[in-house]
């Protein structure tokens, strides 16, 4: 008996194909039951927007198991197209290696992301609750979760912000002791500024003030974010109260320049001010960063931080692979020992 | 163990400060990315030996060991080292030790120069509770100013990296600049209060050969130092001095303090008895 895996992911197939093979949450218990009827003794189905995978423990030879699992997938989803390299399959030890990589976020679109860990855990718990797992998969999945946690603490694979929004939040936390004491001003109700404001609020920012050329849009966004709206002409007055400003207007010229900000900084008693300019063309004159206690970041700066972090994560992959290799070897040795022991 | 004097003990303490300095260089080069306790324990070992050295000297003298330049310097460093250990326990302040270690090491090596600790008679001339209070609080004030300069250094480094959009600012595990600014201010304020108490205690001591206090170089120096720190605090709190200038002021004032401490001591009849 060994653990095998068959599936397709963002690496092997386009979204059009992945969505054809996706399992709806409520259908998974039935699919697992069908799998266990004549194919596998234990099974877990992982279905996310980026991957669909079946982990199974089977007595069949790997090649036979892969053919049967492929047939199951095609039949279950009534797929009548051609399938080639889009579908991958692994037998032990590669199946274990793959599972550990998936759990650690090494096989994710954004390397090191943690969402997959929760999704994998939910998939396993669903199978466990419906009694579709046994000793083999329980041990394998528990080990996968432990390896993912170990990698998270021992390496930098999950370190840092890999999106513009999270980079902005991290920056704010490098400047301010606690976001709970600071209000955010959103100038121009664009999508990225809204997401950035949401990210700051989720990290405890005290409140949000929204201003937009269209007052209706400002009021709507302020209501959505639980903040207040101010007329576009009055946003400079808010500078005495706020500490973070996110700007993303469609203005063709700078809406904030050094000459305007200098007296405002005096009114702020030179408290630190984080300016995030995600507009193109830029809303804020670069010269404002020469002012003391003003920290200006534009969209390129934030993207550059995200890219640097991603590069750092990629550099950590080799270390993670080494850890996974060791852990897979240890699990296989433990399985061999258990098998020998049970034969005595 | 009679051969093992308090100076040997202090030498060992300085060795630990030296090891910590070397380790700090590696932490610095790595951009303060990995948070560990190695540096903290190196400084802690140094401070324990340092305390032992001062205790041995104090027990020999039957008074607070602040009677000559060596003792005054070691007391100052001890206050700095101890305060750095306490502050390092605050979240994200573990790297404070890395910034303090070079000061402890270099000034420690200087303090070990034999000329700073001349042989004396069986009983020091410098004794009494008020004198001990004066010396101890003044030296603790210098320790607080030293730590403020260290926090100010951390602030300026983080500020520069954030302004220059350096990834190091994001990767380092240093505290936020707002927090560093607050700590710098608090340390300067604590140092100022201690210096005020120290100077007030000193003003109650008997005068040297009936001379006015303000003719003594060390007294003039201390009064100037007190004014410099007062001006810095008032300008920062009441007149909107920027945090960068305040931090620079804390570093410059402490550098001047370190450079002139011994000179004014040597030329002070009151402090060179």
Q: Give the residue numbers of A marked as catalytic.
A: 49
- Nearest by CB to residue B163, choosing from A156, A177, A295, is A295
ipTM of model over 0.85? no
Residues A215, A125 within the same domain: no
Mean pLDDT of A298-327: 89
Looking at beta carbons, which residues of chain B come within 8 Å of A169?
none
8 Å CB contact of B244 and A292: yes
Mutation pick from B156, B158, B171, B186 vs chain A, by most beta carbons of A within 10 Å, is B171
Band (pLDDT 50/70/90 cuts) for residue A96 is very high
Q: Among the listed ranges A122-131, B131-140, B208-217, which one has the minimum average pLDDT value? A: B208-217
Residues of B with CB under 8 A from a CB of A: 33, 158, 162-163, 165, 167, 169-171, 175-179, 182, 240, 242-245
Inside any domain, residue A118: yes
Share of chain A above pLDDT 90, in %: 60
Retrieve residue B216's tokens. Answer: 């003594």
Q: Name the residue in chain A with its Cα closest to that of B240.
A: A269
Residue B216's closest CA among B261, B273, B269?
B269
Residue B62 has pLDDT above 80, yes or no: no
Residue B241 has pLDDT above 70, yes or no: yes
Residues A40, A142 within the same domain: yes
8 Å CB contact of A175 and B177: yes
A 10 A CB-CB count for A295 gives 23
CA angle A291, A197, A298 (to 5 degrees): 40
Residues B198, B260 within the same domain: yes
Residues near A249 by beta carbon (within 8 Å), at least 6 away in sequence = A187, A188, A190, A212, A213, A255, A279, A283
Residues A169, A34 within the same domain: no
Name the minimum distance, in Å, from the CA of B163 to any CA of chain A.
Answer: 6
The confidence score (pLDDT) of residue A343 equals 56
Q: Return the CATH number at A233.
A: 3.40.50.720
8 Å CB contact of B176 and A266: no
Residues A105, A58 within the same domain: yes
Inside any domain, residue A70: yes
Residues A178, A147 within the same domain: no
Supply the range of the domain harboring residue B259: 129-273
Cα–Cα distances in Å, from B263 out to A244, B74, B78, B141, B267? 48, 16, 21, 19, 6
Residue B211 has pLDDT above 80, yes or no: no
Picking from A154, A181, A204, the residue at the C-terminal end of a domain is A154
Name the minimum distance, in Å, from the CA of A287 to any CA of chain B.
Answer: 12
Residues B145, B269 within the same domain: yes
Inside any domain, residue A320: no
Quickly list DSSP for chain B: -TT--HHHHHHHHHHHHHHHHHHHHHHHHTTS-S--SHHHHHHHHHHHHHHHHHHHHHHHHTS-S-SSHHHHHHHHHHHHHHHHHHHTTSTT-TTHHHHHHHHHHHHHHHHT-GGGS----SS-S--SHHHHHHHHHHHHHHHHHHHHHHHHHHHHHHHHHHHTT-HHHHHS-PPPHHHHHHHHHHHHHHHHHHHHHHHHHHHTSPPGGG--GGGSHHHHHHHHHHHHHHHHHHHHHHS---HHHHHHHHHHHHHHHHHHHHHHHHT-TTT--
Mean pLDDT of A169-196: 90
Inside any domain, residue B124: no
Band (pLDDT 50/70/90 cuts) for residue B161 is very high
Share of chain B above pLDDT 90, in %: 36
Residues A27, A149 within the same domain: yes
Band (pLDDT 50/70/90 cuts) for residue A58 is very high
- Nearest by CB to residue A269, choosing from B165, B175, B240, is B240
Residues A79, A205 within the same domain: no
E strand or H helix that includes residue A247: strand A244-247
Looking at beta carbons, which residues of chain A come within 8 Å of B162?
171, 174-175, 295
State how far the Cα of B227 lies from the Cα of B237, in Å rounded to an integer. Answer: 15
Q: Return the CATH number at A128.
A: 3.30.460.30
- Nearest by CB to residue B163, choosing from A160, A289, A309, is A289
Inside any domain, residue A312: no
Give the count of Cβ contacts less than 8 A between chain A and B.
55
- The per-residue pLDDT for range A226-282, each reduced to its tens digit, is 999 999 988 888 988 999 999 988 888 899 999 999 999 888 888 899 999 988 889
- The per-residue pLDDT for range B168-207, each reduced to its tens digit, is 888 787 889 998 999 999 999 999 999 999 999 888 777 6
Structural domains counted in chain A = 2
Picking from B55, B84, B118, the residue at the C-terminal end of a domain is B118
Looking at beta carbons, which residues of chain B come within 8 Å of A289?
163
The confidence score (pLDDT) of residue B272 equals 61
Picking from B65, B88, B118, the residue at the C-terminal end of a domain is B118
Looking at beta carbons, which residues of chain A come within 8 Å of B33?
156
E strand or H helix that includes residue A311: helix A299-343
Inside any domain, residue B83: yes
- How many CA atoms within 13 Å lie on the side-chain side of B47? 20
- Nearest by CB to residue A270, choosing from B169, B177, B243, is B243
Inside any domain, residue A330: no
Retrieve residue A108's tokens. Answer: 């994710």
Residues B88, B209 within the same domain: no
Residues A105, A190 within the same domain: no
Residues B169, B203 within the same domain: yes
Name the minimum distance, in Å, from the CA of B164 to any CA of chain A.
Answer: 9
- Nearest by CB to residue A272, choosing from B169, B177, B240, is B177
Name the minimum distance, in Å, from the CA of B157 to any CA of chain A.
Answer: 12
Name the minimum distance, in Å, from the CA of A173 to any CA of chain B.
Answer: 7
Residues B101, B181 within the same domain: no
Supply the range of the domain harboring residue A269: 164-304
Residue A80 has pLDDT above 90, yes or no: no
Structural domains counted in chain B = 2
Residues B113, B151 within the same domain: no
CB A244 within 8 A of CB A232: no
Picking from B87, B118, B149, the residue at the C-terminal end of a domain is B118
Residues B207, B90 within the same domain: no
Inside any domain, residue B20: yes
């Amino acid at each position: 008996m060994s653990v095998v895996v068959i599936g397709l992911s963002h690496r092997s197939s386009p979204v059009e194909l992945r969505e054809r093979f996706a399992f709806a949450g409520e259908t998974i218990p039935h699919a697992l039951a069908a799998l266990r009827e004549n194919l596998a003794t234990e099974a877990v189905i992982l279905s996310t927007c980026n991957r669909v995978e079946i982990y199974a423990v089977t007595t069949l030879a790997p090649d036979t198991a892969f053919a049967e699992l492929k047939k199951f997938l095609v039949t279950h989803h009534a797929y009548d197209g051609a399938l080639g390299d889009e579908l991958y399959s692994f037998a032990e030890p590669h199946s274990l290696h793959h599972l550990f990589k998936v759990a650690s976020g090494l096989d994710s679109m954004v390397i090191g992301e943690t969402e997959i860990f929760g999704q994998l855990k939910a998939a396993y718990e669903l199978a466990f609750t419906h009694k579709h797992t046994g000793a083999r998969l329980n041990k394998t999945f528990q080990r996968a979760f432990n390896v993912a946690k170990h990698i998270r603490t021992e390496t930098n694979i999950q370190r840092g912000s890999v999106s513009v929004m999270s980079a902005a939040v991290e920056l704010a936390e490098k400047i301010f002791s606690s976001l709970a004491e600071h209000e955010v001003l959103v100038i121009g109700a664009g999508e990225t500024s809204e997401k950035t404001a949401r990210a700051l609020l989720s990290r405890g920012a005290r409140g949000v003030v929204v201003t937009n050329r269209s007052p209706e849009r400002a009021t709507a966004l302020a209501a959505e974010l639980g903040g207040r709206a101010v007329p576009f002409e009055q946003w400079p007055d808010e500078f005495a109260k706020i500490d973070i400003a996110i700007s993303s207007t469609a203005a063709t010229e700078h809406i904030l320049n050094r000459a305007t900000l200098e007296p405002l900084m005096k009114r702020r008693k030179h408290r630190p001010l984080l300016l995030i300019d995600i507009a193109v063309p830029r809303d804020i004159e670069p010269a404002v960063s020469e002012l003391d206690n003003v920290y200006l970041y534009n969209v390129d700066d934030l993207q550059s931080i995200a890219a640097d972090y991603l590069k750092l994560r990629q550099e950590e992959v080799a270390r993670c692979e080494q850890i996974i290799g060791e852990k897979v070897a240890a699990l296989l040795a433990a399985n061999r020992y258990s098998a020998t022991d049970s034969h005595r | 163990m009679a051969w093992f004097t308090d100076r040997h003990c202090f030498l060992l303490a300085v060795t630990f400060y030296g090891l910590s300095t070397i380790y700090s260089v590696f932490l610095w080069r790595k951009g303060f990315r990995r948070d560990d306790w190695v540096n903290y324990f190196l400084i802690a070992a140094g401070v324990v030996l340092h305390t032992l050295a001062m205790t041995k000297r104090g027990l020999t003298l039957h008074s607070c060991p602040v009677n000559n330049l060596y003792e005054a310097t070691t007391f100052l460093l001890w206050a700095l080292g101890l305060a750095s250990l306490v502050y390092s326990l605050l979240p994200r302040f573990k790297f404070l030790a890395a910034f303090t270690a070079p000061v402890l090491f270099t000034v420690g090596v200087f303090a070990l120069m034999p000329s700073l600790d001349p042989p004396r008679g069986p009983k020091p001339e410098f004794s009494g509770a008020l004198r001990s209070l004066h010396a101890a609080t003044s030296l603790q004030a210098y320790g607080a100013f030293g730590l403020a300069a260290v926090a100010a250094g951390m602030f300026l480094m983080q500020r520069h990296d954030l302004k220059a959009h350096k990834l190091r600012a994001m990767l380092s595990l240093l505290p936020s600049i707002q927090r560093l600014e607050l700590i710098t201010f608090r340390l300067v304020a604590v140092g100022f209060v201690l210096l005020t108490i120290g100077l007030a205690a000193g003003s109650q001591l008997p005068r040297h050969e009936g001379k006015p206090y303000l003719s003594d170089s060390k007294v003039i120096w201390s009064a100037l130092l007190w004014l410099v720190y007062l001006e810095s605090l008032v300008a920062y709190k009441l007149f909107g001095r920027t945090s960068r200038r305040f931090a620079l002021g804390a570093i410059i004032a402490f550098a001047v303090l370190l450079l002139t401490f011994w000179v004014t001591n040597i030329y002070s009849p009151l402090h060179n008895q």
